[in-house]
Structure 1
Amino acid sequence: MKKILLLVFLFPIVSFAQEVMPPLIPWNGKSETLLVEKSNPWITPGELSNLTESPTYEETYQWIKKLADSSPLLQLKSLGKSEQGRDIWMLLASASQTFDAASLKASEKPLIFFHGGIHAGEIDGKDAGMMLLRDIIHGNKGDLLEMADILFIPILNVDGHERRSPYGRVNQRGPAEMGWRTNAQNLNLNRDFSKIETAGVRAVVEVINEYQPDLYVDVHVTDGADYQYDITYGYVKTGGYSPAVSKFLSDTFQPEVDQALEDWGHIPGPLLFAANGRDFSAGNVAFSFSPRFSHTYGDVRHLPSILIENHSLKPFRQRVLGTYVFMEQAIKTMASHFEAVQQAIEKDQNQAKESLAVKFKFRDAPADTMDFKGVASRKEKSEITGGEYVVWEGKAISQQVPSLLMDVPVQTVPIPKAYWISSEWGEVIEKLQIHGIEMEALTEAKELKLEYSKVTDFKMVAQPYEGLMRVQDFDSEKIYRTQTLLPGSVRVKTDQDLGELIVILLEPESVDSFFQWGYFNSIFSQTEYMETYIMEPMIAQMLEEDPDLKKEFEAKKEAEPEFAQNPRRVYRWFYEKTPYFDQNWKVIPVGREW
């Protein structure tokens, strides 16, 4: 009985969160005309509520199945099961009425791939895509399929989507019920593109490999500060791996999409991250995201990729309509400039690959300033905590805000001819295969001399990140060794379209390498040890037979008095110089062929 009373008492307080959000700047835009009448037989479930609600997984499936069944221009396909056994559905749309990957890849039209709900509470892309495909099939937008073929996943994180409630995202204005950011295993899909631990991201990567789309769009909703922009989006503009694609997105794609959004009554902007974590007085930060994120994964694959971040403090209705406008114009722009897109992709795939930057830092000074469409704010002292917090006032202001770019290479690695991975590391080999990376597998044993990295010092993270114990800091040295690789071991050549991705995944210095993600953590365990009653006579024999070793030992004792006074360290020093010492200890098992 007490528990029931407690819940009744708490819920009214929690449900008050939507009512204490910052005040809204009134909005009405031309895009409101995209909503159909309630009498329309193809009205979406979201439109029935005037885009204040978003349908459940089952309601979404039933609607898209009905839509697909109504037209030969559509096909509904399952991409596999989620961790809880739900299908991950994708709609394919093509005027040719042929949906196999070979036909879509061979088409003279661009192939557009977009999805909603990688973070299931940020579901704008689902409702926008349903409206857009409805208008293509049963409305006045049929000409869009003459311009491009479309792949659309309404809900990527299907399990997180069904963990829905009014309390999904405390800082987001709708829909009425929102899903959860992570999947059923509490993994964040948009931290998974390098390691591929989730069914959702595996589905995305398999779609990219199988269909080879020409544009990939991942639709999110922001966290953070207030501002006037409702549709913000970005791509790897500088400091990336596809400079020709970045130039196309910057010079052609963004201006056309921004103009369309403005024409339809929206305020487009770049990705926005307050440098001080509160407001934009200290500048906007353009991070160098690593390829664990969707749009940077696309960049390293030379796939034009966009990350949409609709503003969480704008109403769901406004955000969905803006996403619709974005997607429609993206189709038109890609169709108008398809040859230029193809040329950019080919140029990036064929760029020189002698070395690769794997870590970036901020520029010493701001790159420039931007005319920022901000919202007035003030700082108040909290009577609860005693600290300061920001209060947004709902008044439009203009600011000059510095742009802080994180695009200066701080670590670069040379690219070998190939990498070798021995057969016992099958999980890593399988992940490379899922990425679509070409490799040759040995059918018989082969002796090779290869370069390896040996860890000399390391530090692990204090707690798991995305379920894995990452290597936080480390030092290493290069060693050469000859060893026999058994059948099943693979050679991964770097002279292929995904060469940069290979380096990102296999070079230890890369922040998204399999090494730093913890897939080789077992190399840090030492399983054979010495006994002092063996080492004592063995050391005496070693010193008697090797004068140079004796000199080295005496010099070390003189230079390091604490070493000389520590018997365990002395034994260990000698043990490491014997052939009994584990030669694989702390050696990262990725060999380089030069």
Structure 2
Amino acid sequence: MKLLPSFLLLVFCMSFSIHSFAQDIMPPILPWDGKSKELLVDKSNKWVTPFELSNGLESPTYVETMAWIEELTKNSGYLEIQSIGRTEQGRPIQMIIASVDRDFTAEELSTSKKPLILIQAGIHAGEIDGKDAGMMLLRDISQGDKLELLVHANLLFIPILNADGHERRSEYGRVNQRGPKQMGWRTNAVNLNLNRDYTKLETAGITAIANVINRYDPDLYIDIHVTDGADYQYDITYGYVASGGYSPQISNWLSTYFQPEVDQALKDQGHIPGPLLFAANGNDFTEGNVAFSFSPRFSHTYGDIKHIPSILIENHSLKPFEQRVLGTYVFLEQAIKSVSGHFAELQEAVKADKNQNPEEITVKFAFRETPADSMEFLGIASRKEISAITGREYVIWEGKEITQQVPSILMDRPVEKVSVPKAYYIPAEWSSVIKKIQAHGIEMEILTEPKELTLEFSTVGDFKMVTQPYEGLMRIQSFDLDKMERTITLQPGSAKINTNQALGELAVILMEPESVDSFFQWGYFNTIFTQTEYMETYIMEPLIAKMLAEDADLNKRFEAEKLSNAEFAKSSRAIYSWFYKQTPYFDQNWKVIPVGREW
């Protein structure tokens, strides 16, 4: 037997002990024996899932998952697998369609009289509960006693959206999460977070999802995650844009019909459902639970601005993997029933939201000045101790159930609005932006011949960029804006985007620079900050003298600027720059955001 070198043996032992130790020192587990355990099939069942075979401890690899699903599909006329794209490493992104009527095309499903439900798992590939729950549910629909679900609805199921991250598997994927044994990675192969990509569309996964949404037009969109953070009793937490969004009638439908029925189904099966939980103080929930106004770069808020009922599930990371998967199964089954049972009301809500045509759109929300109300919070007792290592306080969760009253801190107060123009124009040279707008499904007209128009443009004054990339892009951190009118000739290939359309709100969010998810703030127009031409001082000096001699008003403005700005008066560079801007030689496109508005 060949012995390992001593330093390798030490590394191996350290790695093993660190993993074992991390699991051992997690907060205590609350005992759980929910009725949903009855959903598990015997290991002798032909269609037992890898998750069930592992006693609820493991989740299969990408290859194992797709092999199991392909075999299931071959044995059912109600299932079909379609590839919706390829990951950055070349793996197919697979989607399973379930239809008792064998409607497997986008045209058939988007025009069906049945609701269509899109279920997405593995966008953060370590948070994989939805994959294993979906496999069980598809098994029970196609091979068990739940085919009735497809009598009333059609399903789209993406088991692993971030397939590359899924295959970056190890026992060290998510130290704060209790299983599965091996977990994937949050980001994709080029280290981009797919759930920050819904507006910029830089990843293969979200580009594929945007295409699915455009082509299939789902009636409900469910994105399944697992939390980080504090301990509490809830095992299945979820949410939607309840206020401060762009689809108020859909929000009302979700709170009136969907949430009460899903909550009850989870409770009946032994789970504890709760809202999305973001503690104002991660060590102490009594300071409040924060309901953020997420921008449309995230899944459920992107769905909201596209007027699609959208749910973000965040299962509690400290609950056992088996418990989380079974709770997800219960959620998905009831979601199908609730949408089917209240589909007429849902269609009316969607129609109303698509036909809003507002004159103004909120692009920035802030917290309410006082908490909206309080909630009964099913928490876990904790205590504070002083670290012997850092000397600072840290929290210890004790595994004891407590009930608290917790303020609800809502971030739904509008603080910045923009007027909605009749249309936007994007010049042909910004083709990459035009392609992204098309990928979102926003209707547009592409010019086929030159067109002269007088349009309004935003101009940038002082600005500051981030000091390091965010999601691979250099965002604009702060800036001053002004507006100007200009007559330009747009070339063939330029795009006209009318705002009087179902996705008019999304167009505004992408086009208006004040929006945190605008193409401007994401950095897609950063080249407008570069000056390429300049004027030598030996030209500037005689030219300035000539300008001052011929223009009395210019002389007055120059003297006024010197009087009001001492720094300007002392800076030859600033003076030259000021005069250069008064000449026709100055770059007229510098700091002009190339998005024209037609009023």
What's the TM-score bracket when you normalise by the shorter of the two chains?
over 0.9
Matches of 1:378 and 1:281, distance apart in 2: 13
Say if 2:384 and 2:395, in contact at 8 Å, map to a contact too: yes
Q: In the TM superposition, what are the counterparts of 1:499-518 in structure 2 within 5 Å?
A: 499-518=504-523
What are the Cα deviations for residues 570-589 of structure 1, in whole angstroms up to 9, with x where unaligned? 11110011010001000000
- 2:78 equivalent to 1:73: yes
Aligned twin of 1:12: 16
| TM-score between the two structures when normalised by the length of structure 1 | 0.99
Aligned twin of 1:254: 259
Matches of 2:221 and 2:566, distance apart in 1: 61
- 2:287 equivalent to 1:282: yes
Matches of 1:289 and 1:377, distance apart in 2: 29
Aligned twin of 1:493: 498
RMSD of aligned residue pairs (Cα, Å): 0.8
- 1:18 Cα offset (Å): 1.1
Aligned twin of 1:120: 125
Out of 541, 550, 561, the residue aligned to residue 545 of structure 1 is 550
- 2:315 equivalent to 1:310: yes
Say if 2:265 and 2:331, in contact at 8 Å, map to a contact too: yes
Aligned twin of 1:232: 237
Amino acid aligned to 1:196: L
Out of 572, 578, 582, the residue aligned to residue 583 of structure 2 is 578
Aligned twin of 1:475: 480
Aligned twin of 2:193: 188
- 1:566 Cα offset (Å): 1.4
Say if 2:37 and 2:326, in contact at 8 Å, map to a contact too: yes
Matches of 1:134 and 1:553, distance apart in 2: 78
Which runs of 5 or more structure 2 residues have no equivalent in the other structure? none
What are the Cα deviations for residues 22-70 of structure 1, in whole angstroms up to 9, with x where unaligned? 0011001000000000110000111100110000000001000011111
Matches of 1:117 and 1:279, distance apart in 2: 30
**Larger mean Cα displacement after TM superposition, 197-206 or 125-134:** 197-206
What are the Cα deviations for residues 226-258 of structure 1, in whole angstroms up to 9, with x where unaligned? 000000000000000000000000111000000
Aligned twin of 2:563: 558
Amino acid aligned to 1:267: I
- 2:453 equivalent to 1:434: no
- 2:499 equivalent to 1:465: no
- 1:3 Cα offset (Å): 5.0
Amino acid aligned to 2:338: T
- 2:53 equivalent to 1:48: yes
Q: In the TM superposition, what are the counterparts of 1:57-456 in structure 2 within 5 Å?
A: 57-456=62-461
Aligned twin of 1:536: 541
Secondary structure (helix, strand or coil) at the match of 2:285 reads coil
- 1:101 Cα offset (Å): 1.1
Matches of 2:570 and 2:117, distance apart in 1: 68
Matches of 1:571 and 1:458, distance apart in 2: 21
Matches of 1:13 and 1:591, distance apart in 2: 60
Matches of 2:560 and 2:512, distance apart in 1: 36
Aligned twin of 2:29: 24
Matches of 1:107 and 1:559, distance apart in 2: 68
- 1:487 Cα offset (Å): 0.5
Aligned twin of 1:568: 573
Amino acid aligned to 1:441: I
What are the Cα deviations for residues 152-188 of structure 1, in whole angstroms up to 9, with x where unaligned? 0000000000000000000000000000000000000
Matches of 2:484 and 2:6, distance apart in 1: 66
Matches of 2:453 and 2:569, distance apart in 1: 40
Equivalent pairs counted in the alignment come to 594
Matches of 1:475 and 1:557, distance apart in 2: 22
- 1:352 Cα offset (Å): 3.2
Secondary structure (helix, strand or coil) at the match of 2:554 reads helix
Say if 2:357 and 2:500, in contact at 8 Å, map to a contact too: no
What are the Cα deviations for residues 340-371 of structure 1, in whole angstroms up to 9, with x where unaligned? 00000000001132110011000000000000
**Larger mean Cα displacement after TM superposition, 170-179 or 10-19:** 10-19
Secondary structure (helix, strand or coil) at the match of 2:286 reads coil
Amino acid aligned to 2:8: I
Cα 1:376–1:439 change in 2 (3 A) is same
Matches of 1:515 and 1:400, distance apart in 2: 42
- 1:14 Cα offset (Å): 1.9
Cα 1:526–1:265 change in 2 (3 A) is same
Matches of 2:370 and 2:32, distance apart in 1: 36
- 1:73 Cα offset (Å): 0.5
Amino acid aligned to 1:117: G
Secondary structure (helix, strand or coil) at the match of 1:281 reads helix
**Larger mean Cα displacement after TM superposition, 9-18 or 577-586:** 9-18
Matches of 2:162 and 2:554, distance apart in 1: 61
State the identity %. 68
Amino acid aligned to 1:304: P
Secondary structure (helix, strand or coil) at the match of 1:438 reads coil
What are the Cα deviations for residues 471-523 of structure 1, in whole angstroms up to 9, with x where unaligned? 01111001000011100001011011110000011100000000000000010
Secondary structure (helix, strand or coil) at the match of 1:109 reads coil
Secondary structure (helix, strand or coil) at the match of 1:345 reads helix
**Larger mean Cα displacement after TM superposition, 551-560 or 486-495:** 551-560
Which runs of 5 or more structure 1 residues have no equivalent in the other structure? none
Amino acid aligned to 1:14: I
Matches of 1:572 and 1:160, distance apart in 2: 50
- 1:2 Cα offset (Å): 6.0
Matches of 1:12 and 1:357, distance apart in 2: 52
- 1:6 Cα offset (Å): 4.1
Matches of 2:550 and 2:177, distance apart in 1: 75
Matches of 2:529 and 2:170, distance apart in 1: 44
Matches of 2:336 and 2:242, distance apart in 1: 20
Amino acid aligned to 1:294: S
What are the Cα deviations for residues 371-429 of structure 1, in whole angstroms up to 9, with x where unaligned? 00000001111001111011000000000000000000110000000000000101100
Amino acid aligned to 2:192: L
Matches of 1:201 and 1:560, distance apart in 2: 49
